[in-house]
Chains A and B, each alone.
Chain A
Amino acid sequence: DTGVSQDPRHKITKRGQNVTFRCDPISEHNRLYWYRQTLGQGPEFLTYFQNEAQLEKSRLLSDRFSAERPKGSFSTLEIQRTEQGDSAMYLCASSLLASGGYEQYFGPGTRLTVT
């Protein structure tokens, strides 16, 4: 039974560069969520998908952020022109609506450091 996987686990980039993260949810899960967590804080909601449709984006998701979920399977989160304030852990979670949708399974996260 494979859980939610995220790639890469760590990413160090220079300010101004673009980065892309990938999330592979549990295979039959139709909902996929992205969260961001900074040190000492709880995760913050960024966006979520139901199948391939992006249903909501937080105001935290500036124009430099874009997320996709082509074909309703894996998802990517891209950050353009990274800033030091983007340094955080980016978490992905998935859930299955048919089981109620309430239990989200989280991946291990991608830790981004912008230098």
Chain B
Amino acid sequence: DAKTTQPNSMESNEEEPVHLPCNHSTISGTDYIHWYRQLPSQGPEYVIHGLTSNVNNRMASLAIAEDRKSSTLILHRATLRDAAVYYCILAFTNDYKLSFGAGTTVTVRA
């Protein structure tokens, strides 16, 4: 399985943007880049996914490097509710089974 590397933790102030980096240098052509987050005491929650082009949705934006070896999840205005563990995951298009790493713990200061 292709692996991802993320920082262990990041801190942000409320209403400021958060940029979460992810390295995936061994990504294959059939791997989509997925982001999930897990709030305390809850199951993971889908955030966004992409293949080659940058993607935007109501929760976040995903910026994918041209060589696809890295990506950045962008939370445009962090709120206290965004405090969670964020996972960057590569998933093969046929089965989408998710291989979670340790993720990045995001702390948002009021």
Interfacial residues of chain B within 76-102, with CB under 8 A of chain A in the complex: 85, 87, 91, 95-102
Question: Considering the chains assembled together, what is the distance between the CA atoms of A104 and B36 in angstroms?
Answer: 9
Question: Considering the chains assembled together, what is the distance between the CA atoms of A103 and B43 in angstroms?
Answer: 13
Interfacial residues of chain B within 15-68, with CB under 8 A of chain A in the complex: 32, 34, 36, 42-46, 49
Q: How large is the interface on B (under 10, 10 to 19, 20 to 34, 35 or more residues)?
A: 20 to 34
B91 / chain A contacts, CB cutoff of 8 Å = 102
Asked if residues B102 and A41 are in contact (CB atoms below 8 Å), the reply is: yes
Asked if residues A101 and B96 are in contact (CB atoms below 8 Å), the reply is: yes
A91 / chain B contacts, CB cutoff of 8 Å = 43-44
* CB proximity of A77 to chain B, nearest CB, Å: 15
Chain B interface SS verdict (over half): loop
Q: Is A28 an interface residue (CB 8 A)?
A: no
Contact of A43 among B44, B45, B49 (CB under 8 A): B44
By beta carbon, the residue of chain A nearest B91 is A102
Segment at the B interface, from A13-21, A63-71, A105-113: A105-113
Asked if residues B100 and A108 are in contact (CB atoms below 8 Å), the reply is: no
Contact of B34 among A4, A31, A102 (CB under 8 A): A102
Asked if residues B101 and A102 are in contact (CB atoms below 8 Å), the reply is: no
Asked if residues A43 and B100 are in contact (CB atoms below 8 Å), the reply is: yes
Question: Considering the chains assembled together, what is the distance between the CA atoms of A66 and B87 in angstroms?
Answer: 28
- Please encode chain A, from 21 to 55, with 1 for each CB lying within 8 Å of some chain B CB and 0 for all others: 00000000001010100001111110010000001
Instruction: Identify 14 residue pairs between A and B in the complex whose beta-carbon atoms are under 8 Å apart, listed by A's number.
Output: A42-B87, A42-B100, A43-B98, A45-B97, A45-B98, A56-B95, A93-B43, A93-B44, A95-B96, A102-B91, A104-B44, A104-B96, A106-B44, A108-B43
Task: Kindly list the 10 A-B residue pairs having the minimum CB-CB distance in the complex, ordered from nearest.
Answer: A42-B100, A106-B43, A103-B46, A45-B97, A43-B100, A106-B44, A91-B43, A102-B49, A101-B96, A109-B43
